[in-house]
Amino acid sequence: MKFQNTREFAQQLDAQDELKHYRNEFIFPQHEGKDVIYFTGNSLGLQPKSAKKYVDDVMNDWANLAVEGHFYAEKPWWDYQERFAEPLSKIVGAKPSEITVMNTLTVNLHLLMVSFYRPTKTRYKIICEEKAFPSDQYMFQSQVTHHGYDPKDAIVEVKRREGEHNIRLEDILAKIEEVGDELALVLFGGVNYYTGQVFDMKTITEAGHKVGANVGFDLAHAAGNINLELHDWNVDFAAWCSYKYMNSGPGNASGCFVHEKHHHADLPRFAGWWGNKKENRFKMEPTFNPTIGADGWQVSNLPVLSLAPYLASAEMFAEVGMKKLIKKRNQITAYLEFILHEIDNEIDGTEFEIITPSNQEERACQLSVFLHGQGRSLFDYLMKNGVITDWREPNVIRLAPVPLYTSYEDMYEFGQRLKQGIQSLHK
């Protein structure tokens, strides 16, 4: 499609958008009486209007039924997480039995590493990406230290080549082969939070398994954003937060995937009674007898009030389907890229360097942009003028045009405010 940098063209794209009515299902912060342009769904998604009803339902059941809500609520609490299995399995490409929801993301990664990071004297190293999200870095460090290893030796980062912003797949595969028999675990982000690079999880998983390592992924920026086929890719485990692209609310519950090939394996895990077989759970037996499937990694009683808004969003995703989301994601991100280049060309002395890969297979719903010739003042201008975006040092803004609720006219209007900001700051 040949794009145009006009409001009329953007409005025409919106009129043709098969997802346009979903924008009205979300609540936008306001700026001077109008919806903000919201680019930070990769940090915290907007609130679905249906979320309040789902939370109110739990509150009403608590008020009217008290403890009996566990069994007699409209959505009984004791198996509340089971309602996620079907919709989330479609979002991440899994079987329903491979899905559970519990805790928060880094907690779940730690719990899953109990099962899947099992170092020995000779096989103890972890391969990860350079500049992984800090929580992942801290997790790796604490895990290897807990097992008695030196992080400088046990953690192997695949680095970017000099002068490049993204990690080459060939370098990841070469590093896996190089570490070889010493490699216990490969754990990457599905999408790098800083650059927006999408990793080839299928190929990475195959390479890790070839040398005898387990392979897992942190899907914080991937779930609800990119095509995932975790079961078919033979990924061992994965976890993701729900509050970014999946709009469940701040700090909310995390989804987990455990491949069915591990469901009957005698793997170590940190057990809790909610992972015990459902039919025996209230017998209060002294020995843990895990549920078969990902639910067997459950530990504690469910945080139902947290799960409620996540369920509201998960059901919306099930209604829309990832195929339609990805189709719009690709087009609206391409239009945003076009707008950025147009504004760059219109103003002398600017240079917007997009460090997110240009290849559609290697990027998703995010453009990370170096603002050469600009500074933090431009970000501050945008924030004060109704554009909510994200700043990362040293000089990068991250823009995430989430397909469920951003419009093509938002992209056009952002370009106009960006242009105004640059001009006003360089008078």
Let me know: does 182 contact 155? Beta carbons within 8 Å: no
- Determine whether the annotation assigns residue 221 to a binding site: yes
The amino acid sitting at 118 is R
Let me know: does 124 contact 113? Beta carbons within 8 Å: no
- Determine whether the annotation assigns residue 273 to a binding site: yes
Omega before 303 within 30 of 0, i.e. cis: no
Query: Of 410, 218, 424, 232, whose CA–CA distance to 328 is shortest?
Result: 410
Task: Report d(CA 253, CA 240) in Å as an integer.
Answer: 9
Can you give the C-alpha Rg of the chain in angstroms? 23
- Determine whether the annotation assigns residue 133 to a binding site: yes
Q: What angle do CA 336, 338, 340 make, to 5 degrees?
A: 70
Let me know: does 113 contact 185? Beta carbons within 8 Å: yes
What lies within 8 Å, CB to CB, of 156 at 6+ separation is 125, 126, 127, 128, 175, 179
- Determine whether the annotation assigns residue 313 to a binding site: no
> What φ, ψ does residue 123 adopt, rounded to 5°?
-120, 95
Tokens of 331: 């087009």
Q: Find the DSSP H helices in 275-404.
A: 304-320, 322-346, 376-384
- Determine whether the annotation assigns residue 336 to a binding site: no
- Determine whether the annotation assigns residue 60 to a binding site: no
* Binding-site entries: 105-106, 133-136, 218, 221, 243, 273, 301
* Binding-site entries for pyridoxal 5'-phosphate: 105-106, 133-136, 218, 221, 243, 273, 301
